[in-house]
């Protein structure tokens, strides 16, 4: 089986789908691997390192894709000046990437059909014990949560920790984290390590113990309804509960120096948790880092990809934040991809096995020989 790793074309994307360490393991498993030249350069991996790991390096994408059985990417294939990235794929090849929401992209869907591509989307890996080492969402969320605190610390015109000086005591910054999933918990842990006083909020009461174990105070609306789905993700709540949430959040924001928002509902626009009015009530010079910016934002005033000041509050809406830490983001992503690929690889047959009814395959398979299989 010939696996190809391509250089990413999306603006600002520095990650790569395989690193030398994972290439070495693929080669040992009997997989032939070819890399487009400089595919890993932006992440800090030179072509020579891939050659030493056992990969062939092709001078360009077209040469790399010859005889490709499986193509590994981070971002979905994109339109180019002279066509579409998928036009270069061999007919019938398989594509594994982070997010392949073909039904939201008619052009991508049509290209998948015309090239008869089998597509597997890694953001759909189920939350089951066996698939933990394939969980790309958690890997990337960890990085985003950590980096969000560094962005906030850089933007806040105050110290995070308490300092006792000859001129007097400097009080610690107050950090409020909305959402206690993987990104939120990492943000809480990082802010605490920097010496801030941290409060965590989530609609799922089950995460209270996790938040408090990191040394933060937990606040929540008293919920009678179940606020998480079968997979453990937060789900949309009723209008009454949402109103109580807004009241609690507005109250906490009045004494907050930094607010980091991480709340997402899978497959839908991010819930708006911070209104214009709430921002008006915050302290001058305080900071909001909206990690949900790519899905519309948790703050009403967030502008994706921009750093803006509204009512004296600095609001950051980073997109693809994990790419700013491309070296380690690539390492983690590549390990998830390796585990996913080896889970599907039938060594005896020398190809991917998609016939087994495997729970992971069923969840991630969005197109089979060009036929769209699920509404993602």
User: What whole-number distance in Å separates Cα of residue 149 and Cα of residue 187?
Assistant: 6
Annotation says 104 is catalytic: no
Alpha helical stretches, state H, the chain: 20-28, 47-53, 61-64, 106-115, 136-155, 182-193, 208-213, 239-253, 276-280, 326-344, 359-364
In sequence order, what are the beta bridge partners of 372? 367
Annotation says 75 is catalytic: no
Where does residue 168 fall: left (phi above 0), alpha (psi -120 to 50 degrees), or beta otherwise? left
User: The sheet that has 94-97: what strands, in order across it?
Assistant: 56-58, 32-36, 2-5, 70-72, 94-97, 118-121, 365-368, 371-372
User: What whole-number distance in Å separates Cα of residue 36 and Cα of residue 43?
Assistant: 14
The residue among 44, 45, 36, 42 whose CA lies nearest residue 12 is 42
The residue among 131, 123, 126 whose CA lies nearest residue 294 is 123
Catalytic residue among 37, 99, 138, 353: 138
Burial 310-336 (b: 16+ CB within 10 A, else e): beebbbbbbebbbbebbebbbbbbbbb
- The torsion angles phi and psi of 83, rounded to 5 degrees, stand at 135, -140
Annotation says 50 is catalytic: no
Using DSSP's 3-state secondary structure scheme, residue 326 falls into helix
Annotation says 114 is catalytic: no
Catalytic residue among 116, 127, 193, 283: 127
Catalytic residue among 135, 202, 257, 290: 135
Catalytic residue among 62, 87, 130, 132: 132
Annotation says 233 is catalytic: yes
User: What whole-number distance in Å separates Cα of residue 316 and Cα of residue 313?
Assistant: 10
Catalytic residue among 99, 233, 353, 358: 233
Q: Which residues are catalytic?
A: 127, 132, 135, 138, 233
């Amino acid at each position: 089986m010939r696996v190809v790793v391509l250089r990413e074309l999306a603006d600002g994307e520095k990650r790569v789908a395989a690193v030398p360490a994972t290439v070495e393991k693929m080669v040992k498993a009997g997989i032939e691997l070819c890399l487009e030249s400089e595919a890993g350069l932006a992440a800090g991996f030179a072509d020579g390192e891939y050659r030493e790991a056992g990969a062939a390096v092709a001078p360009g994408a077209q040469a790399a894709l010859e005889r490709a059985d499986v193509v590994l990417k981070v971002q979905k294939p994109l339109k180019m000046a002279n066509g579409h990235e998928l036009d270069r794929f061999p007919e019938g090849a398989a594509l594994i990437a982070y997010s392949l929401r073909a039904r939201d992209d008619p052009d991508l869907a049509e290209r998948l059909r015309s090239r008869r591509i089998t597509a597997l989307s890694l953001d759909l890996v189920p939350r089951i014990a066996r698939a933990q080492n394939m969980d790309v969402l958690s890997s990337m969320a960890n990085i985003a949560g950590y980096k969000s605190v560094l962005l906030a610390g850089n933007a806040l015109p105050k110290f995070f920790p308490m300092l006792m000086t000859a001129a007097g005591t400097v009080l610690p910054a107050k950090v409020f984290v909305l959402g206690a999933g993987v990104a939120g918990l990492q943000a809480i842990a990082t802010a605490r390590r920097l010496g801030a006083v941290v409060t965590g909020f989530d609609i799922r009461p089950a995460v209270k113990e996790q938040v408090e174990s990191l040394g933060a105070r937990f606040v929540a609306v008293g919920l009678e309804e179940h606020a998480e789905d079968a997979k453990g993700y937060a789900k949309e709540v009723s209008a009454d509960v949402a109103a109580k949430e807004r009241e609690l959040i507005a109250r906490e924001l009045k004494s907050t120096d930094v607010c980091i928002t991480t709340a997402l509902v899978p497959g839908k626009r991010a819930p708006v948790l911070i209104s214009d009015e709430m921002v008006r009530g915050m302290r001058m010079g305080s900071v909001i880092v909206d990690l949900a910016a790519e899905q519309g934002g948790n703050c009403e005033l967030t502008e994706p990809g921009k750093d803006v000041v509204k009512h004296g509050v600095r609001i950051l809406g980073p997109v693809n934040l994990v790419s700013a830490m491309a070296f380690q983001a690539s390492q983690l992503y590549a390990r998830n991809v390796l585990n996913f690929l080896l889970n599907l690889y039938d060594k005896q047959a020398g190809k991917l096995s998609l016939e087994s009814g495997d729970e992971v395959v069923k969840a991630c398979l969005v197109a089979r020989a060009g036929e769209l299989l699920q509404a993602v």
